[in-house]
């Protein structure tokens, strides 16, 4: 392995670490803000389950490594580096602003933008893969999260009608520990695999692996450790938005949102679709709030989040392309 390839792998792991603390709130914010778990215990739980989830499956990693760029194109290491830098820049901007954006779409958009600048065209992008595995899930997964959040919350209202609010909150506070673990597991299973795919692309481009190679087990392990380490660093800024910025949550609502997110993320991971845990859980929280009443959702904040979702892919494509252009000047 050359020094350049090693450097790209290290930067990819830095992205995975940032992904961990950027998206920590996805799994645990609702549990913390409903007081089902303390922040420290929630972060520890999320770190462990992220680690376990990252080691399971490789469908999403294969989509990133082989489903977005034509197989005949071997991206050079500095192009992969440009894609990572573009995604890292966007993640840090949105983290600082406390906006729950998508690390997944930041990375994918940046990769596509860098690849287009590298090949000086659009013909080497597998647009069918981008449409089917990225764009369509980007649109459908939040709607599914909202639908399941709304439906499960309505069901909880019906089942728990007439019971003491204190008793109901106590039961669901305990159940939220399990659903927080499931969301963290699903997050690791989907999100960590994207960086696995990027590192595999870099290893292929650096002739360390032959074209079409599956993700090596060593790559899976180091990515799992990186995202778990990032998760342990926390994500207090975004946690504030996710926990109480969209709607006020009680334990039953937190349970409904986390259960909904787990259903959608697991289904999309099975299909190899690199979706955003952030998008799904945020939309599930909106669904839960709407099940109470529409005015329970802070639609101004929701609008801000949705706008960020929409602009992430094109803006990160521009960032990745710009980083690729700049790096080309020094290569």
Across the chain, which has 331 residues, the per-10-residue mean pLDDT values are 84 86 68 78 85 84 84 82 92 76 84 93 89 87 93 96 90 91 89 86 85 86 88 62 62 93 93 84 88 78 75 92 92 75
Q: Is 170 a domain residue?
A: yes
Residue 198 to residues 11, 22, 175, 281: CA-CA distances in angstroms? Answer: 11, 18, 36, 25
Distance CA 177, CA 305 (A): 26
Residue 306 to residues 165, 167, 246, 300: CA-CA distances in angstroms? Answer: 32, 35, 12, 10
Distance CA 45, CA 36 (A): 12
Calculate ∠ Cα 107-274-319, nearest 5°.
Answer: 15
Distance CA 82, CA 160 (A): 52
Q: Under a CB-based contact definition with an 8 Å cutoff, are residues 208 and 6 in contact?
A: no
Residue 280 to residues 111, 137, 299: CA-CA distances in angstroms? Answer: 22, 10, 16
Q: Is 331 a domain residue?
A: no
Q: Under a CB-based contact definition with an 8 Å cutoff, are residues 79 and 289 in contact?
A: no
Contacts of 22 (CB under 8 A, 6+ apart): 91, 94, 95, 103, 230, 235, 238
Contacts of 104 (CB under 8 A, 6+ apart): 190, 191, 194, 274, 275, 276, 277
- Among residues 205, 236, 203, 199, the alpha carbon closest in space to that of 220 is found at 199
Burial 303-328 (b: 16+ CB within 10 A, else e): eebbebbeebbebbbebbbbbbeebe
Burial 25-53 (b: 16+ CB within 10 A, else e): bbbbbbbbbbebbebeebbebbbbbbbbb
pTM of the prediction? 0.83
Q: Around Cβ 136, how many Cβ atoms within 10 Å?
A: 12
Q: Is 279 a domain residue?
A: yes
Domain span at residue 273 reads 3-325
Which pLDDT value is given to residue 236?
A: 56
φ and ψ of 125, to 5 deg: -90, 135
- Among residues 236, 309, 297, the alpha carbon closest in space to that of 28 is found at 236
Which pLDDT value is given to residue 300?
A: 73
User: Based on the structure, what is the number of domains in the chain?
Assistant: 1
Q: Is 287 a domain residue?
A: yes
Calculate ∠ Cα 12-14-15, nearest 5°.
Answer: 65
Q: Is 330 a domain residue?
A: no
What residue spans of 206-250 are helical by DSSP H? 217-232, 236-240
Distance CA 130, CA 109 (A): 10
Distance CA 114, CA 69 (A): 11
Calculate ∠ Cα 51-55-60, nearest 5°.
Answer: 115
Q: Is 214 a domain residue?
A: yes
Distance CA 275, CA 272 (A): 9
Q: Is 293 a domain residue?
A: yes
Distance CA 132, CA 148 (A): 22
Q: Is 237 a domain residue?
A: yes
């Amino acid at each position: 392995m050359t020094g350049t390839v090693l450097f790209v792998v290290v930067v990819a792991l830095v992205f995975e670490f940032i992904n961990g603390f950027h998206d920590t709130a996805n799994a645990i914010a609702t549990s913390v803000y409903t007081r089902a778990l303390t922040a420290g215990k929630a972060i520890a739980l999320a770190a462990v389950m992220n680690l376990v989830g990252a080691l399971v499956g490789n469908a999403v990693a294969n989509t990133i490594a082989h489903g977005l760029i034509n197989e005949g194109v071997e991206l050079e290491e500095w192009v992969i580096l440009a894609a990572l830098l573009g995604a890292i820049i966007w993640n840090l901007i949105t983290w600082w602003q406390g906006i729950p954006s998508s690390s997944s779409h930041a990375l994918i958009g940046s990769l596509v933008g860098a690849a287009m600048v590298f090949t000086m065209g659009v013909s080497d992008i597998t647009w069918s893969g981008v449409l089917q595995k990225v764009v369509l899930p980007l649109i459908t997964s939040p709607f599914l999260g909202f639908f399941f959040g709304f439906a499960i919350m309505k069901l909880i209202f019906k089942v728990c009608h007439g019971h003491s609010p204190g008793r109901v909150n106590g039961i669901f506070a305990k159940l939220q520990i399990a659903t927080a673990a499931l969301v963290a597991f699903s997050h690791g299973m989907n999100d960590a695999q994207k960086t696995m795919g990027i590192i595999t692309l870099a290893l292929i481009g650096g002739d360390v692996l032959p074209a079409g190679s599956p993700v090596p087990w060593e790559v899976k392990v180091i990515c799992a450790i990186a995202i778990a380490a990032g998760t342990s660093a926390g994500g207090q800024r975004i946690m504030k938005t996710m926990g109480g910025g969209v709607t006020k949550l009680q334990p039953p609502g937190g349970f409904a949102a986390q259960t909904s997110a787990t259903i959608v993320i697991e289904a999309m991971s099975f299909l190899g679709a690199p979706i955003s845990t952030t998008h799904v859980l945020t939309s599930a929280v909106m669904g839960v709030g709407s099940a109470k009443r529409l005015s329970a959702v802070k639609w101004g904040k929701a609008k801000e989040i949705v706008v960020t979702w929409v602009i992430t892919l094109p803006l990160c494509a521009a960032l990745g392309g710009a980083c690729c252009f700049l790096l080309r000047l020094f290569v």
